[in-house]
Amino acid sequence: MSRSLGLIGCGKMAYALMKGIGGAEFLGFDSLLVNDIDPERGVLFQEEFNAIPTEAGEVLHSSRVIILAVKPQQVRMVLDANRAWWTTEHLLISLAAGIKTGSYENEIGLHLPVVRVMPNTPCLVGQGVSAISAGRYAADKDLQLVAKMFEQLGTCVMVEEKHMDAVTAISGSGPAYVFLVVESLMNAALQVGLDLKLARQLLVNTVKGSMEMMEQSGEHPAILREQVCSPGGTTIAGIRQLEENGLRRAFFQAVEKAYERSIELGKD
């Protein structure tokens, strides 16, 4: 088996990973072998990362470390189509939401080292959060290699696999919640007379500054919120309206739904 890094699935997250680590050579691999159902994605990786597009079976045959970056619904198809190529010498790094390490071990039928990763889309700008958990047969050296990869894309945390569905619902889906809140505030800004460009500038920097303040202070967000709310002022009036309209309840329900869906994906 050569010193190639294998990648099956060349979507946005795989692109962000390769961009972030600076190509396979950064990790000590001689080459990058890729496979995707869309040939144009393979060409893109060839042009940008000097990758070699090829069949999935060849990726497995010629690479020990395999990053599986396909959609959860495509995982079983990929495993079934290439079952004969898997060996216990492989390390499988899965980016598929909801799919447990034990599912790979059972489906392939080998004592296969598997490491499961849940990254999020801010990885595209080097500010992502990636949660990592190990399967039964993954060694410390496997975890260290995966951590080395994803630390190039932002924050990397090790978690027990039993928490991965919850992580998916929080940090995996979290950017979409943030974008929805900012989108709603931008629309509200238009309603009170601000133009879109100014509203965007104000909100992007307000969110950025608020998160930086929360990180540097180490305070609970409730304390920081109270510091903005003057008695009888504008902010407490707005907060009261948000609470009356069930903002907190809506977030509880959204996270629970995302958590349940992650569990469902693991059963499909």
Question: Is position 10 annotated in a ligand binding site?
Answer: yes
Tell whether 62 and 95 lie within a shared domain.
yes
Strands 91-94 and 128-134, sheet pairing = unpaired
Confidence of residue 144 (pLDDT cuts 50, 70, 90): very high
Residues 13 and 104 in one domain: yes
The number of domains in the chain is 2
**Residue 13 belongs to domain with CATH number:** 3.40.50.720
> Helix, strand, or coil here: 38?
coil
Picking from 161, 187, 206, the residue at the C-terminal end of a domain is 161
Shared domain for 183 and 67, answered yes or no, is no
The reply to whether 87 and 147 lie within a common domain is yes
What CATH number should be reported for the domain holding residue 249?
1.10.3730.10
Regarding whether 192 and 106 lie in a shared domain, the answer is: no
- Does residue 240 lie within any of the structural domains? yes
> Residue 2 has what pLDDT?
62
Assess whether pLDDT exceeds 90 at residue 20. no
Question: pLDDT tens-digit profile of 83-138?
Answer: 889 999 999 999 998 899 999 999 898 999 999 999 998 988 889 999 999 999 99
Q: Does 240 lie in the same domain as 183?
A: yes
* 57 annotated ligand-binding residue: no
Q: Is 12 marked as a binding-site residue?
A: yes
| 167 inside domain | no
Whether 168 is covered by a domain: the verdict is: no
Is pLDDT at 199 greater than 60 in this prediction? Answer: yes
Tokens coding 245: 């309209």
- What single-letter amino acid sits at 242? L
Reference 168, options 99, 246, 115, 218; nearest CA is 99
Where in the sequence is the domain holding 216, given as residue range(s)?
Answer: 174-267
Q: Is 108 annotated as a binding residue?
A: no
Looking at the domain assignment, is residue 45 inside a domain?
A: yes
> Does 68 share its domain with 193?
no
Helices (H), the chain: 12-21, 39-49, 56-62, 72-81, 101-108, 140-150, 164-167, 174-191, 196-217, 221-228, 234-244, 247-267
227 with 95, same domain: the answer is: no
Please state, rounded to an integer, the average pLDDT across all residues of the chain: 93
Shared domain for 34 and 84, answered yes or no, is: yes
Long-range contacts of 183-190 (CB under 8 A, 24+ apart): none
**Using CA atoms, how far apart are residues 117 and 68, in angstroms rounded to an integer?**
10
Instruction: Count other C-beta atoms under 10 Å from residue 63's C-beta.
Output: 24
Same domain for 149 and 40 = yes
Residue 200 lies in a domain: yes
Is 117 among the domain residues? Answer: yes
Boundary of a domain, candidates 161, 185, 202? 161
Q: Which two tokens stand for residue 251?
A: 């977030």
Task: Please report which confidence band the pLDDT of residue 231 belongs to, taking 50, 70 and 90 as the band edges.
Answer: very high
Is 13 annotated as ligand-binding?
yes
- 8 assigned ligand-binding residue: yes
Is 223 inside any structural domain? yes
Query: pLDDT band for position 219 (50/70/90)?
Result: very high
44 and 155 housed in the same domain: yes
Establish whether 71 is an annotated binding residue. Answer: yes
* Residue 72 assigned to a binding site: yes
